[in-house]
Amino acid sequence: MSVEGHVLANAVIALLLAACAGLAVVIHRSELWRAAAVELWRRRPIALLVVAVYLVIAALDSISWVGGGEVGEGGDVLAMHQPRSLIDRLFPLDFDEKSYSAPLASVEFYGGDPLDHPGRHLLGTDILGRDVLHVMLDGTRIALLVGGFTSLLVIPLALLVGVSAGYFGKRIDDVAFFVMSVLMSIPDLLLLIALIMAMGRGPLQVCIAMGVTSWVGFCRIVRGETFKLRELDYVEAARALGVSDLKLIWRHILPNLMHLVVITFVLTFSGLVLSEAILSYLGIGIDGSWGQMIDQARDELARDPIIWWNLAAASAALFGLILAVNFVGDAVRDVLDPRTLRERQ
């Protein structure tokens, strides 16, 4: 993270938190959504809590500032002037060892030299001596960035195109559908690779590439649903009464698409995070992600005796998030199913 970039990140987090608070208010006000949220909590409290934990870690890791911390003799003075997040500050400033060490060990893995911080690396250290627990926690931010930020980029765009195509039909739909067809006919991973190769490798490019590939799925669902909604009797009645298109879309079509958006978002989330892991294997992922940790592990497993803690930490973190999101996603889909929505009304 660049020295000024952290200020931007802090601002973004503050904004996101404000947005979440606003969203919470909106949900609380609407009886339908509040009932759904309560039902969701009733069904899958554990999975929701797990996701919340990940979210909190990611948020904490995004708030950073410069300063504080002490450096021991011969320590890295430069490090003192790098911005460090709340998570970073959980660890001492000069925590790195020289290379591998096993969890809670007192000596280096190769050579047996004593460590600088014996017994304090809960999950050991990696090839560069970094504390594995620290790297794992840092990876949380990236995973949620990939899954969440990308979707946030994609949803408004997909809504715009999908609703326009579904509502106005004809030419607009022809064009939109053609673009969607082209994107849909390239296998996702190939498209991701092509985009990143063309745009260059970096976290922003990866997010954009993932956005492009996941946009189509969203858009297709929105378009299909808008087609259906447009034909509904009350929409036709409103149109006959002379209600403007924009108003119709805002009041009748969009609210009825929201449940689909939520479901699709949650279901796409895991796919995105898993895709990033594969991109990291190919070397075009985001630095510091769990995928990258797993990529390093291939080499580590081949050694004898094997080095397993890097892989274990990243796998556990990845698995935990994906599993929790999958469970939550299933529950969200059940809760927001139009049939059950109607019953509860």
Partner 1 sequence: MLAYIVRRTAYGFVTLIGVLLLLFVLFFLYASPHEMARRAVGEKAPPEVLEQWIVNHGYDKPKVWNPEHPFDTLLVEHFRRALSFDFGRGDADGTPITQRLREGMGPSLALAVPSFVFGLLFSVALALFVAYFRETYIDRMGVIVCVLTMSISTLLYIIGGQFLIGKLLRWFPISGFDASPSVIVRFLMLPLVVSLASGVGGSVRFYRTVFIEEGGRDYVRTARAKGCGDLRVMTHHVLRNALIPILTRTVVVIPFLFTGSLLLESFFGIPGLGSLTVDAVQGNDFATLRALVFIGSLLFIGAQIATDVSYSLVDPRVRFE
Number of residues that bind partner 1 (CB under 8 A): 42
Our finding on whether 335 is near partner 1 (CB under 8 A) is: no
Among 70, 74, 111, 185, binds partner 1 (CB under 8 A): 185
User: Do residues 129 and 111 lie in contact, with contact meaning Cβ atoms separated by under 8 Å?
Assistant: no
Our finding on whether 197 is near partner 1 (CB under 8 A) is: yes
Least separation in angstroms between residue 132's CB and partner 1 is 17
Write out the binding residues for partner 1, residues 121-180 only, by CB under 8 A.
Answer: 178-179
Write out the binding residues for partner 1, residues 276-295 only, by CB under 8 A.
Answer: 277-278, 281-284, 291, 294-295
CB neighbour list of residue 166: distance below 8 Å, 6 or more residues apart: 173, 222, 223, 224, 225, 226, 227, 229, 230
State which residue, 74 or 283, has the beta carbon closest to partner 1: 283
Our finding on whether 340 is near partner 1 (CB under 8 A) is: no
CB atoms under 10 Å from CB of 282, counted, come to: 13
How is residue 26 written in tokens?
């909106």
Least separation in angstroms between residue 260's CB and partner 1 is 17
User: Do residues 78 and 94 lie in contact, with contact meaning Cβ atoms separated by under 8 Å?
Assistant: no
Least separation in angstroms between residue 333's CB and partner 1 is 11
Identify the three-state secondary structure at position 119: coil
CB neighbour list of residue 101: distance below 8 Å, 6 or more residues apart: 107, 108, 109, 115, 121, 124, 125, 129
Our finding on whether 51 is near partner 1 (CB under 8 A) is: no
Q: Cα(339)–Cα(56) distance, rounded to whole angstroms? A: 33
**Residues at the contact surface with partner 1, assessed by CB under 8 A:** 178-179, 181-183, 185-191, 193-195, 197-200, 270, 274, 277-278, 281-284, 291, 294-295, 297-298, 301, 311, 315, 318-319, 322-323, 326-327, 330
